[in-house]
Amino acid sequence: MTREVITTDRAPGAIGPYSQAIRAGGFIFVSGQIPIDPATGTIPEDVTAQTRQSLTNLAAIIEAAGATLADVVKTTVFIKDMEQFSVINDAYAAFFPEAPPARACVEVARLPKDVLVEIEAVVLYTAS
Protein backbone atom coordinates (compact mmCIF):
# COMPACT_ATOMS: atom_id res chain seq x y z
CA MET A 1 0.00 0.00 0.00
CA THR A 2 1.29 3.46 -0.85
CA ARG A 3 1.20 6.34 1.55
CA GLU A 4 1.15 9.96 0.35
CA VAL A 5 1.47 13.10 2.46
CA ILE A 6 -1.01 15.84 1.52
CA THR A 7 -0.21 19.50 2.22
CA THR A 8 -1.61 22.87 1.19
CA ASP A 9 -0.93 26.46 2.13
CA ARG A 10 -4.70 27.08 1.99
CA ALA A 11 -4.94 25.60 5.49
CA PRO A 12 -2.75 26.17 8.56
CA GLY A 13 0.46 24.20 8.68
CA ALA A 14 0.86 21.49 11.27
CA ILE A 15 1.75 22.83 14.71
CA GLY A 16 3.38 19.57 15.71
CA PRO A 17 4.97 16.44 14.26
CA TYR A 18 2.08 15.40 12.00
CA SER A 19 0.87 15.86 8.42
CA GLN A 20 -2.19 17.83 7.36
CA ALA A 21 -3.43 14.63 5.71
CA ILE A 22 -2.32 11.21 4.52
CA ARG A 23 -3.75 9.37 1.51
CA ALA A 24 -3.55 5.59 1.94
CA GLY A 25 -5.59 2.57 0.91
CA GLY A 26 -8.32 4.47 -0.90
CA PHE A 27 -8.84 6.92 1.97
CA ILE A 28 -7.62 10.35 2.98
CA PHE A 29 -7.12 10.81 6.71
CA VAL A 30 -7.27 14.52 7.55
CA SER A 31 -5.72 15.65 10.82
CA GLY A 32 -7.82 17.68 13.21
CA GLN A 33 -8.27 21.22 11.97
CA ILE A 34 -8.53 24.11 14.36
CA PRO A 35 -9.90 27.51 13.33
CA ILE A 36 -6.72 29.32 12.37
CA ASP A 37 -7.12 31.53 9.31
CA PRO A 38 -4.14 30.47 7.16
CA ALA A 39 -3.82 33.91 5.57
CA THR A 40 -3.70 35.92 8.80
CA GLY A 41 -2.92 33.44 11.56
CA THR A 42 -5.91 34.73 13.53
CA ILE A 43 -8.55 32.71 15.37
CA PRO A 44 -12.18 33.88 15.37
CA GLU A 45 -13.68 34.43 18.80
CA ASP A 46 -17.15 32.87 18.61
CA VAL A 47 -17.91 29.18 18.18
CA THR A 48 -19.90 29.63 14.95
CA ALA A 49 -17.01 31.37 13.19
CA GLN A 50 -14.55 28.86 14.66
CA THR A 51 -16.62 25.95 13.33
CA ARG A 52 -16.81 27.53 9.87
CA GLN A 53 -13.05 28.21 9.80
CA SER A 54 -12.22 24.68 10.95
CA LEU A 55 -14.41 23.26 8.17
CA THR A 56 -12.98 25.68 5.61
CA ASN A 57 -9.49 24.48 6.55
CA LEU A 58 -10.65 20.86 6.33
CA ALA A 59 -12.17 21.48 2.88
CA ALA A 60 -8.96 23.10 1.60
CA ILE A 61 -6.90 20.05 2.57
CA ILE A 62 -9.46 17.65 1.09
CA GLU A 63 -9.48 19.63 -2.17
CA ALA A 64 -5.66 19.62 -2.25
CA ALA A 65 -5.92 15.81 -2.12
CA GLY A 66 -8.27 15.74 -5.12
CA ALA A 67 -11.55 15.17 -3.30
CA THR A 68 -14.44 17.26 -1.95
CA LEU A 69 -16.50 17.49 1.23
CA ALA A 70 -19.05 15.25 -0.52
CA ASP A 71 -16.45 12.45 -0.29
CA VAL A 72 -16.17 12.68 3.51
CA VAL A 73 -17.39 9.47 5.15
CA LYS A 74 -16.61 10.21 8.82
CA THR A 75 -15.79 13.22 10.97
CA THR A 76 -14.92 13.65 14.58
CA VAL A 77 -15.77 16.97 16.18
CA PHE A 78 -14.02 17.91 19.40
CA ILE A 79 -15.70 20.73 21.31
CA LYS A 80 -14.82 22.64 24.44
CA ASP A 81 -18.40 23.04 25.68
CA MET A 82 -21.28 20.65 24.95
CA GLU A 83 -23.64 23.56 25.63
CA GLN A 84 -22.53 24.85 22.20
CA PHE A 85 -23.56 21.60 20.46
CA SER A 86 -26.61 23.02 18.64
CA VAL A 87 -24.75 26.16 17.50
CA ILE A 88 -21.91 24.02 16.15
CA ASN A 89 -24.44 21.72 14.44
CA ASP A 90 -25.99 24.68 12.62
CA ALA A 91 -22.62 25.83 11.25
CA TYR A 92 -21.58 22.24 10.45
CA ALA A 93 -24.83 21.49 8.56
CA ALA A 94 -24.10 24.27 6.04
CA PHE A 95 -20.98 22.38 4.92
CA PHE A 96 -22.78 19.02 4.61
CA PRO A 97 -26.27 19.91 3.28
CA GLU A 98 -27.04 16.46 1.83
CA ALA A 99 -26.11 12.97 3.01
CA PRO A 100 -23.82 14.15 5.82
CA PRO A 101 -21.01 11.82 6.88
CA ALA A 102 -21.04 9.63 9.97
CA ARG A 103 -19.83 11.64 12.94
CA ALA A 104 -18.74 11.54 16.54
CA CYS A 105 -18.80 14.63 18.72
CA VAL A 106 -17.04 14.75 22.05
CA GLU A 107 -16.47 17.40 24.68
CA VAL A 108 -12.85 17.80 25.67
CA ALA A 109 -11.11 19.66 28.48
CA ARG A 110 -8.79 21.63 26.23
CA LEU A 111 -7.80 22.01 22.58
CA PRO A 112 -4.65 23.38 20.94
CA LYS A 113 -4.39 27.18 21.15
CA ASP A 114 -7.41 27.08 23.50
CA VAL A 115 -9.84 27.03 20.57
CA LEU A 116 -13.46 25.99 20.99
CA VAL A 117 -13.63 23.37 18.21
CA GLU A 118 -11.43 20.98 16.22
CA ILE A 119 -12.61 18.74 13.38
CA GLU A 120 -10.93 15.75 11.71
CA ALA A 121 -12.16 13.67 8.78
CA VAL A 122 -11.84 10.42 6.88
CA VAL A 123 -12.47 10.80 3.16
CA LEU A 124 -13.17 8.12 0.54
CA TYR A 125 -10.77 8.73 -2.34
CA THR A 126 -11.45 7.36 -5.80
CA ALA A 127 -8.94 8.54 -8.39
CA SER A 128 -10.60 9.71 -11.58
DSSP output for 30-96: EEEE----TTT----SSHHHHHHHHHHHHHHHHHHTT--GGGEEEEEEEES-GGGHHHHHHHHHHH-
Q: Is the pTM of this model over 0.85?
A: yes
- Catalytic residue list: 105
Task: Give the confidence band of 128 by pLDDT, cuts at 50, 70, 90.
Answer: low
> What average pLDDT does this structure show over 102-107?
98
Task: Give the confidence band of 15 by pLDDT, cuts at 50, 70, 90.
Answer: confident
Q: Residue 68: its pLDDT value, please?
A: 97
> What average pLDDT does this structure show over 72-98?
98
Using CA atoms, how far apart are residues 122 and 34, in angstroms rounded to an integer?
A: 16
Considering the domain 3-124 in this protein, what is its CATH number? 3.30.1330.40
Domain coordinates of the chain in residue numbers? 3-124
Taking only the tens place, the pLDDT of each residue in 40-75 is 999 999 999 999 999 999 999 999 999 999 999 999
Q: Residue 126: its pLDDT value, please?
A: 86
In percent, how much of the chain has pLDDT > 70? 98
Between 126 and 118, the higher pLDDT residue: 118
Task: Give the confidence band of 127 by pLDDT, cuts at 50, 70, 90.
Answer: confident
DSSP secondary structure letter of residue 120: E
